[in-house]
C-alpha cells in the first residue's frame, strides 16, 4: 500500500440528507475506497458507499446449525451411548425430551455468533483508528455526519479529492493523518 | 398525515429535541450530573440489604437448608417461589427489547435499555435461588454436562435439566443483547467525557466503535437477528420453568395450561416492575420528555391484557378441577378455596384479577401514582401466585398422612428481601454509570433522522 502520510480526507456534514447525497455523488465521481460515519444507523447509507455483502446472517446460520447439532448429538451420545439410564421405561433415544435443550443450544450458539461475528467482521475491538485523529470526529457520536475518501483509493490525489469534497458543500474538511 | 386518533395520543418523545440535545440530556446524567445525597442514601440502604443477603447465604452454607422452612412434603419453599417470581420479572426486558423491536413499536426505544438492565439483574437474583436450594451449592456445577471422573451425566429427560439450559441461555443472551445495544452509546460517552480516566474506561468498553456505515449495517443485522432469536427464547424460558411443575404429577401442577399462563404471568409481573422503576426514574432524572405518558399507558395496556390471560388461566384451572372428574384435582380446588392458605388465594384473586381492572379507566392509566400502586399490587399478586402454585399444591397431596404446613423462617425472608436489595443496588449503580435510555435509538426517533426518498 502506498504511504502518503495521510489516511484520507474527511468532510463533515450536518444532516442525513447532505451526507447521503454526498456519499452517492462521491461514488459516482469514481472514488471506491470511501466510508461514512454517523451517530445512528441510516437506511441506504451502506449501499451508497458501496457496501453490499453483509455476512452476519451467514455467520448466525452456521452458529445456529452448529449449536443445534451440538445440543442434540451431545444428548444422544450421553443418553444412548455413554451413560444409558432407564428412566420410567422411556427409550434411551427419547427424542421429544431432547428438543428443548437442542432448541436452547441453537439459540445460544446463534446469538453468540451474531454478537461476536458482527464484532469480528467489523474488526472490533480496535481501540486505535486513524479517524479518531480528526479533532471534529468526536461529534460523529453526537450530531455530525462524516464522509472520508481513503488515501488508498486508486484515484486519490489530495488536491483533487479536497476540491471535489469542497464542491459537496460540507461544514468542514480535514486531512486525517495516518 | 396522522389520523385524528393518533393526534390525541401522547408523543413518543416531546417535540423540540435535536440530535445534540437528546445526546446531551441522556449522557449528562452519567457524565456531569452530580451524584445526589438521595442516591447515596438509596444505594447505601440497598447495599446493606444486599449484605443481609450475603449473611443469610453465608449462614445457610454453614448450617444447610434446615434453617429454611422447607420440610417434607413442602420441599420447594421460598427458593422456588422467588426463583419463578424473579425470572418472570425478567421477561419484560426481553419482550420490550426484542418482540417490540420486531413489531416495530418504536416507543420501546426509550425504555428498552433499563428494562434490559432490569432483566439482567432480575435473572441474577433468580439464579441465586436454585443454586443455594440444591443443598450442596459448591457442587452446583454438577447441573452441567461435563466429562468427570464419576463417569455420570445429567439426565436429559428431566425438566430440571432443561431449566438449567433455558435459564443459562437466557442470562447469556440477555447480557449480550444489552451489551450490543450499549456499544454505540459507550462510544458517545467516550467522546463526551472530560476526564481522561472516564474516556479510557468508556473507550475500552466501546471497543473502538466509530459509527462507520459498514459497521452500522452489520450491527443492525446482528441486532435484528438477535431480536429474532431472543423472541422464541423468552417465550421458551418461562415455558420450561412451567415444565418443572407441569411434567410432575402433583395435582395443581400437572396441567397443560401452564406454559402459556406462565409466560403471560411473567410479562404481567415484568411490566409491573418496569412501571415501578420507570415512574420514579423519569421523575427524579427529569426524563418525562422521553418516557412520556404514552409509555406508561402502553405498559398499562400490556399489563391489562396479560392480566386477563392470567385470569383466564385461573378460570381454566378452577374449571378443570371442578369438571375434570379427578378427585385429587377437585380436592386441590377445594383446598385452595377453603384450606389453611385460602386467605392467600383470595388475596391472589384480588391482586391479580380484581384490582388491575381499574386500568380500564383511561384516567388511571395515565396517572403515574396510580400506576405505581397498581404495579406494586400486581407484583405482590404474582408472588402470591407462585406461592399458591408451589406451597398449596405440595402441602396436601395424595396421602393424608403426609400432609403438612409451610412456615417460612427469618432466613427465608432475609434471603428473599436480600435479593430485592441486590436487584435495586444494581439498578442504582446502573443509572449512575451507564446511559439508562438508549441514546442512538432515541436519535432515530427524531425528525432530523428521517430519510426522505
pLDDT in tens, B40-55: 999 999 999 999 999 9
DSSP state of B142: G
Let me know if residue A178 belongs to a domain: no
Considering only alpha carbons, which residue of chain B is nearest residue A17? B451
Residue B204 in contact with partner chain A when CB distance is under 8 A = yes
Residue among A44, A98, A132 whose CB faces B156 most closely? A98
Instruction: Select the residue from B22, B157, B205, B244 to test the A interface by mutation, using most A Cβ atoms within 10 A.
Output: B157
Model confidence at B9, pLDDT cuts 50, 70, 90, reads: low
Tell me which of A129-138, B296-305, B416-425 is least confident: A129-138
Q: What integer is the mean pLDDT of B340-348?
A: 93
The percent of residues above 90 in pLDDT, for chain B, comes to 47
Among B244, B446, B261, B227, which Cα is nearest to B352's? B261
The whole-number pLDDT of residue A75 equals 93
CA B131, CA A174: separation in Å to the nearest integer?
Answer: 57
Considering only alpha carbons, which residue of chain B is nearest residue A88? B157
**pLDDT exceeds cutoff 60 at B254:** yes
Among B275, B222, B230, which Cα is nearest to B111's? B275
Supply the mean pLDDT for chain A. Answer: 87
Supply the mean pLDDT for chain B. Answer: 89
Residue among B210, B217, B225 whose CB faces A131 most closely? B210
Q: Please identify among residues 1-20 of chain B the ones whose CB lies closer than 8 Å to any CB of chain A.
A: 18-20
Among B267, B269, B263, which Cα is nearest to B238's? B263
How close A113 gets to chain B, by Cα (Å)?
A: 9
Residue among B173, B213, B452 whose CB faces A51 most closely? B213
Q: Please identify among residues 147-186 of chain B the ones whose CB lies closer than 8 Å to any CB of chain A.
A: 151-158, 161-162, 165-166, 169, 172-173, 176-177, 179-180, 184
Cis bond leading into B440, ω under 30°?
Answer: no
- The tens digit of pLDDT for each residue in B66-75 reads 899 888 888 8
Tell me which of B18-27, B109-118, B262-271, B327-336 is least confident: B18-27
Quickly list DSSP for A81-145. II----STT--SS-HHHHHHHHHHHHHHHHHHHHHHHHHHHTT---S--GGGGSGGGGGGGTT-E
How close B51 gets to chain A, by Cα (Å)?
A: 33
How close A24 gets to chain B, by Cα (Å)?
A: 13
Residue among A15, A46, A94 whose CB faces B217 most closely? A46
Q: How far is CA B227 from the centre of its chain?
A: 17
CA A46, CA A53: separation in Å to the nearest integer?
Answer: 10
- The sheet with strand A172-177 has its strands ordered as A34-37, A145-150, A6-13, A172-177
Integer-rounded Cα Rg, in Å, for chain A is 25
Is B180–A87 a contact, with Cβ atoms under 8 angstroms apart? Answer: no
How close B295 gets to chain A, by Cα (Å)?
A: 22
Model confidence at A20, pLDDT cuts 50, 70, 90, reads: confident
Among A168, A104, A142, which Cα is nearest to B172's? A104
- The tens digit of pLDDT for each residue in B86-143 reads 999 988 888 888 888 888 888 888 888 889 999 999 999 999 999 999 888 888 888 8
Q: How far apart are the first and last CA of chain A?
A: 13
**pLDDT exceeds cutoff 50 at B204:** yes
**pLDDT exceeds cutoff 70 at B319:** yes
**pLDDT exceeds cutoff 80 at B10:** no
Instruction: Select the residue from A107, A112, A136, A147 to test the B interface by mutation, using most B Cβ atoms within 10 A.
Output: A107
Among B307, B273, B226, B229, which Cα is nearest to B118's? B273
The whole-number pLDDT of residue B109 equals 85
Let me know if residue A89 belongs to a domain: yes
**pLDDT exceeds cutoff 80 at A178:** no
Among B215, B445, B184, which Cα is nearest to A45's? B215
Let me know if residue A14 belongs to a domain: no
Q: What integer is the mean pLDDT of A145-152?
A: 86
Is B453 in a helix, a strand, or coil? Answer: coil
Residue B351 in contact with partner chain A when CB distance is under 8 A = no
Let me know if residue A140 belongs to a domain: no
Q: What integer is the mean pLDDT of B361-374?
A: 90
Q: What integer is the mean pLDDT of A144-170?
A: 83
Domain tally for chain A? Answer: 1
Q: Give this prediction's pTM.
A: 0.89
Let me know if residue A10 belongs to a domain: no
The whole-number pLDDT of residue B417 equals 95
**pLDDT exceeds cutoff 50 at B81:** yes
Would you state the cell numbers that stand for residue B77, as one nine-digit string? 419453599
Is A37 in a helix, a strand, or coil? Answer: strand
The whole-number pLDDT of residue B96 equals 84
The whole-number pLDDT of residue A1 equals 46
Instruction: Select the residue from B222, B234, B237 to test the A interface by mutation, using most A Cβ atoms within 10 A.
Output: B222
How close A168 gets to chain B, by Cα (Å)?
A: 19
Question: ipTM score of the complex?
Answer: 0.90
How close A176 gets to chain B, by Cα (Å)?
A: 14
**Residue B80 phi/psi, 5° resolution?**
-80, -35
Is B222–A48 a contact, with Cβ atoms under 8 angstroms apart? Answer: no
On whether the CB atoms of residues B450 and A16 are closer than 8 A, the answer is yes
**pLDDT exceeds cutoff 70 at B38:** yes
Residues facing A8 on adjacent strands: A150, A176
Let me know if residue A40 belongs to a domain: no
Model confidence at B7, pLDDT cuts 50, 70, 90, reads: very low
Quickly list DSSP for B385-412. HHHIIIIIHHHS-S-GGG-------HHH
The percent of residues above 70 in pLDDT, for chain B, comes to 97
Helix H or strand E segment including A174 = strand A172-177
Let me know if residue A61 belongs to a domain: yes
Classify residue B308 as exposed, middle or buried by CB count within 10 Å of its CB (0-12, 13-18, 19+).
Answer: middle
Q: Position of cell 475491538?
A: A125
Look at phi and psi of residue B345 and say left if phi exceeds 0, alpha if psi is from -120 to 50, else beta: alpha
On whether the CB atoms of residues B424 and B170 are closer than 8 A, the answer is no
Calculate the alpha carbon distances from B357 to A73, B50, B281, B305, B441 in Å: 49, 35, 25, 10, 33
Instruction: Select the residue from A8, A17, A41, A63 to test the B interface by mutation, using most B Cβ atoms within 10 A.
Output: A41
CA B116, CA B173: separation in Å to the nearest integer?
Answer: 11
CA B287, CA B26: separation in Å to the nearest integer?
Answer: 9
**pLDDT exceeds cutoff 50 at A139:** yes
The whole-number pLDDT of residue A4 equals 54
CB pairs under 8 A between A and B: 207
Domain range enclosing A66: 56-121
Model confidence at B372, pLDDT cuts 50, 70, 90, reads: very high
**pLDDT exceeds cutoff 80 at A3:** no
Is A56–B172 a contact, with Cβ atoms under 8 angstroms apart? Answer: no
Let me know if residue A65 belongs to a domain: yes
Would you state the cell numbers that stand for residue A114, as one nine-digit string? 451474531
- The tens digit of pLDDT for each residue in A29-81 reads 888 888 889 888 888 888 888 888 888 999 999 999 999 999 999 999 999 99
**pLDDT exceeds cutoff 70 at B8:** no
DSSP state of B98: I
Would you state the cell numbers that stand for residue A74, as one nine-digit string? 451431545
Is A142–B187 a contact, with Cβ atoms under 8 angstroms apart? Answer: no
Widest distance between CA atoms in chain A: 81
Amino acid at each position: 500500500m502506498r504511504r502518503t502520510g495521510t489516511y484520507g480526507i474527511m468532510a463533515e456534514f450536518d444532516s442525513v440528507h447532505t451526507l447521503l447525497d454526498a456519499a452517492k455523488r462521491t461514488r459516482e465521481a469514481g472514488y471506491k475506497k470511501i466510508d461514512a460515519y454517523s451517530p445512528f444507523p441510516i437506511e441506504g447509507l451502506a449501499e451508497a458507499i458501496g457496501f453490499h455483502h453483509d455476512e452476519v446472517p451467514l455467520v448466525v446460520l452456521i452458529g445456529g446449525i452448529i449449536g443445534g447439532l451440538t445440543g442434540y448429538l451431545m444428548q444422544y451420545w450421553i443418553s444412548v451411548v455413554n451413560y444409558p439410564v432407564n428412566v420410567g421405561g422411556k427409550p434411551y433415544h427419547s427424542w421429544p425430551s431432547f428438543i428443548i435443550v437442542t432448541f436452547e443450544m441453537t439459540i445460544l450458539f446463534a446469538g453468540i455468533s451474531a454478537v461476536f461475528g458482527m464484532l469480528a467482521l467489523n474488526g472490533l475491538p480496535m481501540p486505535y483508528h486513524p479517524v479518531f485523529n480528526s479533532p471534529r470526529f468526536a461529534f460523529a457520536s453526537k450530531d455530525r455526519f462524516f464522509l472520508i475518501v481513503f488515501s488508498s483509493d486508486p484515484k486519490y490525489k489530495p488536491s483533487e479529492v479536497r476540491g471535489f469534497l469542497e464542491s459537496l458543500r460540507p461544514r468542514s474538511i480535514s486531512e486525517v493523518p495516518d | 398525515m396522522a389520523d385524528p386518533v393518533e393526534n390525541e395520543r401522547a408523543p413518543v418523545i416531546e417535540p423540540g429535541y435535536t440530535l445534540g440535545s437528546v445526546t446531551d440530556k441522556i449522557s449528562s446524567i452519567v457524565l456531569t450530573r452530580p451524584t445526589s445525597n438521595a442516591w447515596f442514601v438509596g444505594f447505601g440502604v440497598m447495599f446493606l440489604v444486599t449484605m443481609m443477603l450475603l449473611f443469610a447465604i453465608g449462614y445457610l452454607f454453614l448450617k444447610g437448608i434446615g434453617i429454611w422452612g422447607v420440610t417434607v412434603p413442602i420441599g420447594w419453599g421460598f427458593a422456588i417461589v422467588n426463583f419463578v417470581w424473579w425470572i418472570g420479572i425478567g421477561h419484560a426486558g426481553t419482550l420490550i427489547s426484542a418482540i417490540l423491536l420486531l413489531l416495530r413499536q418504536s416507543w420501546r426505544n426509550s425504555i428498552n435499555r433499563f428494562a434490559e438492565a432490569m432483566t439482567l439483574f432480575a435473572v441474577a437474583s433468580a439464579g441465586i435461588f436454585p443454586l443455594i436450594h440444591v443443598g450442596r451449592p459448591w457442587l452446583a456445577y454438577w447441573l452441567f454436562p461435563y466429562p468427570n471422573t464419576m463417569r455420570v451425566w445429567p439426565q436429559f429427560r428431566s425438566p430440571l435439566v432443561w431449566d438449567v439450559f433455558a435459564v443459562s441461555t437466557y442470562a447469556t443472551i440477555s447480557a449480550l443483547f444489552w451489551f450490543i445495544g450499549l456499544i454505540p452509546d459507550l462510544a458517545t460517552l467516550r467522546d463526551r467525557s472530560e476526564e481522561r480516566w472516564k474516556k479510557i474506561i468508556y473507550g475500552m468498553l466501546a471497543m473502538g466503535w466509530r459509527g462507520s456505515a459498514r459497521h452500522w449495517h452489520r450491527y443492525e443485522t446482528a441486532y435484528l437477528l438477535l431480536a429474532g432469536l431472543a423472541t422464541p427464547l423468552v417465550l421458551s424460558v418461562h415455558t420450561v420453568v412451567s415444565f418443572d411443575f407441569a411434567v410432575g404429577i402433583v395435582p395443581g401442577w400437572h396441567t397443560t395450561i401452564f406454559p402459556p399462563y406462565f409466560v403471560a404471568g411473567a410479562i404481567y409481573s415484568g411490566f409491573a416492575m418496569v412501571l415501578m422503576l420507570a415512574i420514579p426514574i423519569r421523575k427524579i432524572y427529569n426524563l418525562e420528555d422521553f418516557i412520556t405518558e404514552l409509555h406508561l399507558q402502553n405498559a398499562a395496556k400490556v399489563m391489562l391484557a396479560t392480566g386477563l390471560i392470567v385470569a383466564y388461566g385461573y378460570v381454566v384451572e378452577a374449571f378443570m378441577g371442578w369438571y375434570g372428574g379427578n378427585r385429587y384435582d377437585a380436592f386441590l380446588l377445594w383446598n385452595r378455596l377453603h384450606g389453611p392458605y385460602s386467605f392467600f388465594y383470595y388475596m391472589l384473586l384480588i391482586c391479580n384479577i380484581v384490582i388491575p381492572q381499574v386500568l380500564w379507566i383511561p384516567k388511571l392509566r395515565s396517572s403515574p401514582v396510580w400506576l405505581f400502586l397498581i404495579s406494586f399490587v400486581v407484583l405482590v399478586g404474582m408472588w402470591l401466585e407462585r406461592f399458591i402454585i408451589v406451597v398449596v399444591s405440595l402441602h396436601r397431596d395424595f396421602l393424608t398422612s403426609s400432609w403438612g404446613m409451610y412456615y417460612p423462617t427469618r432466613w427465608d425472608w432475609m434471603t428473599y428481601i436480600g435479593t430485592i436489595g441486590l436487584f435495586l443496588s444494581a439498578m442504582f449503580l446502573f443509572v449512575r454509570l451507564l446511559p439508562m435510555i438508549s441514546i442512538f435509538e432515541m436519535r432515530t426517533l427524531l425528525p432530523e433522522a428521517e430519510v426522505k426518498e
